[in-house]
Amino acid sequence: MTPSADPQAVLVTGVYGAGKSTVVEDIGTLLEKRGIAYGVLDVDWLGWFDAGQGDAIHERVQMANVAHVCAAYLAEGVCRLALARSVRDRDELAAIRLAVPAPMRVVRLEVDAALVERRLSDNPTEGRRQDDLNVAME
């Protein structure tokens, strides 16, 4: 892999079902083919927990997880990070910028509502079918 002294990150954002995870997977594949050390991260997975303490700790723990994973990747020579996460507002974006220890570009995927509804309605989990679909449609 090609080492780099200038780590860089891209955050792919958009509503649930827009294809963020697929895009960052493709970015990882392209970087691998080019011999560039990379890390791909679906941020939503790092916040999927319930400690029985309500939502107050959720964002803090999720961003701590992002910071730890990104730091571990960079410590091992990764120079390009590709992250996927739905970002609702500037505060969420600011939090992820603080957690990612590299300059980060943000790319927002915009897709037709019917496509999102089709993708999420076919999902086998209740949370994806209902909760995420309702958030996406907002």
Residue 112: predicted pLDDT:
72
Looking at residues 42-58, what average pLDDT do you find?
86
- Given a contact cutoff of 8 angstroms between Cβ atoms, the answer to whether 93 and 87 are in contact is yes
* pLDDT per position as a tens digit, 88-100: 899 999 999 999 9
| Average pLDDT of every residue of the chain | 85
CA distance 23 to 39: 13
Alpha-helix runs per DSSP H in 50-132: 58-75, 90-99, 113-121, 126
Residue 132: predicted pLDDT:
54
Handedness of CA 12, 17, 19, 25 (dihedral sign): positive
| Residue 5: other Cβ atoms inside 10 A | 5
So where are the chain's domains? 8-110
Q: Which CATH superfamily is domain 8-110 in?
A: P-loop containing nucleotide triphosphate hydrolases (3.40.50.300)
